[in-house]
């Protein structure tokens, strides 16, 4: 799996050291904190592929924090809640809050790493993320700055193509070949019409046009 970034919020030094050991073996670019203010600033300033939160915290409980993140910050980050308390009520409420998984501590480090790896890998198959643009291939849904959009199928495939190599300009010929597999599309303005529809839904600045080169996603 490619390198990913994560943040751990725990007030337990033992738990924090365990998470650090496991995640660094998965090539995770990791931040750890025991402060709610530091955690809030981090998720405000950065997107994290993975967020690990202990259930028991000083200023807020893990379940309430996950609800806050899902409602106000990130719908796309993978969130794990970890706790030594693992009765059915706690697990159900943790998952209902928006957590992707619940980890009962203590746990074997290899099992913990496999759970992290499997969850990220499964989500990666369905979603493509680039420069704040999230594409859910299963639901034909695009999320930009935590706002969801539904795009018509052909336009969705075009956006997915542009997102496959962020920053690259795709020529009209490439788009016609990969999306329609038909060069006859180039004779009309079919591609331009679809680009216009995408911009109408997502905003004019989402796609950059270079008339000599083609189309690219705006990464700013």
The CATH number assigned to the domain holding 209 equals 1.10.10.10
Single out the residue in 126, 161, 195 at which a domain terminates: 126
CATH number at residue 58: 3.40.50.2300
Closest residue by Cα to residue 215 from 193, 197, 192: 192
- Give per-residue pLDDT as tens, 144-162: 777 888 888 889 989 988 8
> Who's near 187: CB < 8 A, 6+ residues apart?
none
Clarify whether residues 84 and 163 are in a common domain: no
Q: Which residues contact 106 (CB under 8 A, 6 or more apart)?
A: 84
Domain extent, residue 206, equals 131-217
pTM: 0.59
Q: 69 and 161 share a domain?
A: no
Per-residue pLDDT tens digits for 39-82: 999 988 887 889 999 999 999 999 999 999 988 877 778 999 99
E strands within 15-164? 28-33, 50-54, 78-83, 101-104, 127-130, 133-136, 141-144, 147-150
């Amino acid at each position: 799996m490619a390198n990913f970034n994560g943040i751990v919020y725990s007030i337990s030094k033992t738990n924090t050291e365990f998470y650090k050991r496991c995640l660094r073996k998965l090539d995770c670019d990791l931040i750890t904190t025991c402060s709610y203010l530091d955690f809030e600033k981090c998720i405000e300033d950065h997107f994290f592929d993975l967020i690990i939160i202990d259930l028991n915290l000083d200023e807020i409980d893990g379940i309430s924090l996950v609800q806050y993140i899902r409602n106000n910050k990130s719908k796309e980050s993978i969130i794990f809640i970890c706790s030594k308390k693992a009765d059915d009520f706690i697990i159900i409420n943790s998952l209902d809050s928006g957590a992707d998984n619940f980890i009962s501590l203590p746990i074997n480090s290899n099992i913990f790493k496999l759970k992290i790896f499997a969850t990220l890998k499964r989500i990666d198959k369905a979603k493509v993320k680039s420069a704040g643009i999230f594409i859910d291939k299963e639901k034909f849904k695009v999320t930009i700055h935590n706002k969801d959009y539904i795009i018509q199928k052909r336009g969705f495939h075009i956006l997915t193509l542009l997102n496959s190599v962020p920053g690259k300009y795709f020529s009209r010929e490439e788009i016609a070949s990969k999306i329609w597999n038909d060069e006859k599309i180039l004779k009309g303005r079919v591609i331009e019409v679809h680009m216009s529809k995408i911009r109408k839904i997502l905003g004019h600045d989402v796609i950059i046009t270079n008339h000599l080169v083609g189309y690219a996603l705006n990464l700013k």
